[in-house]
Amino acid sequence: MKITLKRTEEQVELVKAMASKNRDVAYEAQVALAEFIGPVLQKVVNQAPTMSNLFSNFQFNAEESPSIPMDLYYDITDEDYITVWSQAVPGGLPSNTVTPIGGEMKFTTYRLDSAVDFDKRYAQRSRMDVVSKTFTRLAQEILLKQERNSATLILGALAEAVTKGRNHVTRGGTAGRLLLDDFNKLLTLGKRINTSWNGGTPEGGINGRGVTDLMVSPEVVQSLREIAYNPINTRQADNNSTTSIPATDEMRNAIYNNAGIPEFYGINIIEIQELGSGQRYNKLYDSLVNGKVNDNQTVGGGAFADGTDEICVGLDRRVDALLRAVATDSETGSEFSLVADDQYTTRQSKIGYYGSIEEGRMILDNRALFGITV
């Protein structure tokens, strides 16, 4: 992610004016730059994330007390009380709230903010690179907070996800590898957990509700590429003779020609660096699943442990289960607020900016979450 200010005559003059000895002129220039770059930062914050973009957005006025009519998000045959996952503070542990379907659910929002500054002499010298990197840093800090909040909420809800006695996390057949058989079991699990409103086949038949996306580590993508040249069968012939069956020629050719593996068995593959043994999200899941219902859903049958086990996260994006409520300014309608920081005095020779966004994330239905441990 990189934000760049072009070295045009107008922008150079604006940056120079920010360092003016006239405080009114300097402050007006700082405010003008904030108004100019604010919408750009909003686009970056909304488009650059990975985990955060799994949530569906809905806006509300910052001065309102927002709520969600729960009966519109659930089927009429669902139980009277359901569990909604959310966070009370940014970075906090996800908590589940038992909510009646027939009522309005009030939810908590929190502010994600960041403040940056740079020496005034860079503005005097028209150092557009320094100003650009300052705003890049501000956006990065907001994005990092959003990603960690989203990952904590998703993994925390997945750790305790169980429907009608059926765990949402299934075991992989082979340690360290994700095979076709694992995908097959995951598809079946998704169909059994997600039935239609009357308990039957959902709209769309076999292509109805189920797993649509799978977030995996680079190592898991590597194991998928191996299918092009390794056997894939998990059962031997009836006579117990040893047989190694490769994938079909068409499938192997597709994997050879498209090493990025964007889709597999009809499931979108999302490669995430933070997943994998010893990585941030795998460690986070290890701490969140400890002692929960899905703790022993590992290849060996023991408790999940980072270093030996790895979680792959599945998601059903056909339903609005993951929601992000974001406040908008009543005057400008903007989600992201960027203002000139006026805390600095003349002696400090600093120019600063303060950016913030108010949002709240929640998971209304954890039946949209699935997992495979390998």
- pLDDT value of residue 257: 62
Where does the pLDDT of residue 205 fall: very low under 50, low under 70, confident under 90, or very high at 90 and above? very low
146 against 250, higher pLDDT: 146
Task: Kindly compute the dihedral angle of the four CA atoms of residues 237, 239, 244, 250, in this order, to the nearest 10 degrees.
Answer: -40
The average pLDDT across 230-248 equals 58
Question: For all residues of the chain together, what is the average pLDDT?
Answer: 82
The average pLDDT across 235-260 equals 60
- pLDDT value of residue 157: 92
Q: Which has the minimum average pLDDT: 46-60, 189-203, 210-224?
A: 189-203
The average pLDDT across 268-297 equals 91
Where does the pLDDT of residue 247 fall: very low under 50, low under 70, confident under 90, or very high at 90 and above? low
Q: What percent of the chain has pLDDT over 70?
A: 82
The average pLDDT across 243-261 equals 64
**Residue 348 vs residues 29, 117, 119, 231, 340: alpha-carbon distances, Å:** 18, 11, 9, 67, 15
Where does the pLDDT of residue 240 fall: very low under 50, low under 70, confident under 90, or very high at 90 and above? low
Q: Which two tokens stand for residue 21?
A: 């000895």
- pLDDT value of residue 55: 92
The average pLDDT across 78-88 equals 72
Where does the pLDDT of residue 206 fall: very low under 50, low under 70, confident under 90, or very high at 90 and above? very low
Does the pLDDT of residue 324 top 70, yes or no? Answer: yes
- pLDDT value of residue 209: 61
Question: What is the DSSP pairing of strand 311-315 with strand 369-373?
Answer: antiparallel
Does the pLDDT of residue 91 top 80, yes or no? Answer: no
**Residue 45 vs residues 137, 169, 273, 342, 360: alpha-carbon distances, Å:** 12, 31, 19, 24, 15
Does the pLDDT of residue 208 top 60, yes or no? Answer: no
Does the pLDDT of residue 196 top 80, yes or no? Answer: no
- pLDDT value of residue 317: 87
- pLDDT value of residue 50: 83
The average pLDDT across 310-330 equals 89
Where does the pLDDT of residue 256 fall: very low under 50, low under 70, confident under 90, or very high at 90 and above? low
The three-state DSSP-derived secondary structure of 279-294 is CHHHHHHHHHHCCCCC
- pLDDT value of residue 45: 85
What's this model's pTM, rounded to 2 decimal places? 0.84
The residue whose two tokens read 């003008």 is 32
Question: What is the DSSP pairing of strand 322-328 with strand 350-363?
Answer: antiparallel
Whether the CA torsion 182, 184, 190, 193 is positive or negative: it is negative
| 171-175, 299-303, 337-341, 342-346, range with greatest mean pLDDT | 337-341
Where does the pLDDT of residue 312 fall: very low under 50, low under 70, confident under 90, or very high at 90 and above? very high
